[in-house]
Structure 1
Amino acid sequence: MNSWMKIEEFCALVNLDILAVHALIDEGKLLSKEANGECFVEVSRSAHALIPATKGIVVDEAYEGASVSMSSEFVEKTVGAILNLHEKVLDAKEETLDALKGENRFLKEALFSMQELYDEDRKTIETLTKQLELLQDELEFTKRKYKMMWNKAVESYTPSAE
């Protein structure tokens, strides 16, 4: 599996300047490709080209005279492990982004559904309010009609003379 990295990131990873990396590409020691106007370097094979293939010992005197020795095979395996972990992190990141996108789609659909229900409820409330107003007007009319009828009946009522 090929692992491609932008040339700037590769330079930072291997602690080389871009001109040195371009020189190695021109010599054929590093694999590269152009995509979308950017230069990418193939990481795993390039790591093997940068690390000497001898079975010698690498000596690091980073801590006040103390030396740490490592074989080139150990360094190659370490770089490979780091690159493998980097790929796993990128895969996990993409899975997380996909999960979040799916969750966002679900929430968006739920929101649209809630909005539709709200609109339907609002229309129902408007219809019921109009019907209530009409019924109140009809009730007021009926009250006036019966009041007039009873007033007329009371006025025309004459008690019987018994």
Structure 2
Amino acid sequence: MDKQPEKTWIELEEFVAVSKLPKERVLALIQDKSIESKHDAQKIWVDLHSAAQILAKRGGSKSLVAAKAGYPTLLENTPTDPAYVEKTINTILNLHDKVVGAKDETIAAYKNENTLLKEALISMQEIYDEDKKTIALLQEELDRVREEVEFMRRKYRLMWGKVTDMGNLK
């Protein structure tokens, strides 16, 4: 059984830029169903598999013209087999998918790291707030103890002052 490859879609403008075909020619190929396409509200999407076959046919005819014009090196260095072109495009697409996957993994890792850092920052802020409350409480307690010490000093001064005054009476 021949497994049908998964369709990979690319925007029409991007395909025109990559293929170097005139937009009108691509639209004509879409119109006569040589290239599969789908349409949404704003964009036209082109199937890369069917487009690769069209590019392979186009590349094959150019190589023959180049060979007739006396450029054999161009023919030797450019494999025109549609299967080769399709494999090359599929390899590029697979690499692209791997890069996109790696990008997604990297983004997920950064999100996890950011979440961890955010939680750590929130935890540190809570600890800081608790420490601030503890410091304020200890400051109040210290003020109370100072007042108590000052009160005791006055009390003892008064008490010892009376005692010394009594001693002077003799």
- Smaller-chain TM-score bracket: 0.7 to 0.9
With normalisation by structure 2, the TM-score equals 0.77
User: 1:50 deviation in Å?
Assistant: 3.0
User: For residue 132 of structure 1, what is the aligned residue in structure 2?
Assistant: 142
User: 1:154 deviation in Å?
Assistant: 1.7
Inter-partner Cα distance in structure 1 for 2:115 and 2:155: 60
1:59–1:94 Cα change, 3 Å: farther
Aligned residues: 157
More strand per residue: 1 or 2?
Answer: 1
Letter in 2 for 1:58: S
User: For residue 118 of structure 1, what is the aligned residue in structure 2?
Assistant: 128
Runs ≥4 residues deviating over 6 A: none
Q: Which runs of 5+ in 2 are unaligned?
A: 1-5
Letter in 1 for 2:94: N
Letter in 2 for 1:157: G
Letter in 1 for 2:115: R
The farther-off stretch of 25-34 and 147-156 is 25-34
Question: Do 2:56 and 2:80's aligned partners in 1 also have CA atoms closer than 8 Å?
Answer: no
Inter-partner Cα distance in structure 2 for 1:19 and 1:113: 61
Pick from 71, 81, 102: which aligns with 2:80?
Answer: 71
User: For residue 51 of structure 1, what is the aligned residue in structure 2?
Assistant: 56
The farther-off stretch of 70-79 and 30-39 is 30-39
Question: Do 1:60 and 1:68's aligned partners in 2 also have CA atoms closer than 8 Å?
Answer: no
User: For residue 37 of structure 1, what is the aligned residue in structure 2?
Assistant: 42
Q: Which runs of 5+ in 1 are unaligned?
A: none
SS in 1 for 2:10: strand
- Are 1:5 and 2:10 counterparts? yes
With normalisation by structure 1, the TM-score equals 0.81
Letter in 2 for 1:22: L
Inter-partner Cα distance in structure 1 for 2:147 and 2:65: 97
Question: Do 2:52 and 2:85's aligned partners in 1 also have CA atoms closer than 8 Å?
Answer: no
Letter in 1 for 2:111: K
User: For residue 91 of structure 2, what is the aligned residue in structure 1?
Assistant: 81
1:4–1:131 Cα change, 3 Å: same
Two-structure CA RMSD over aligned residues (Å): 2.8
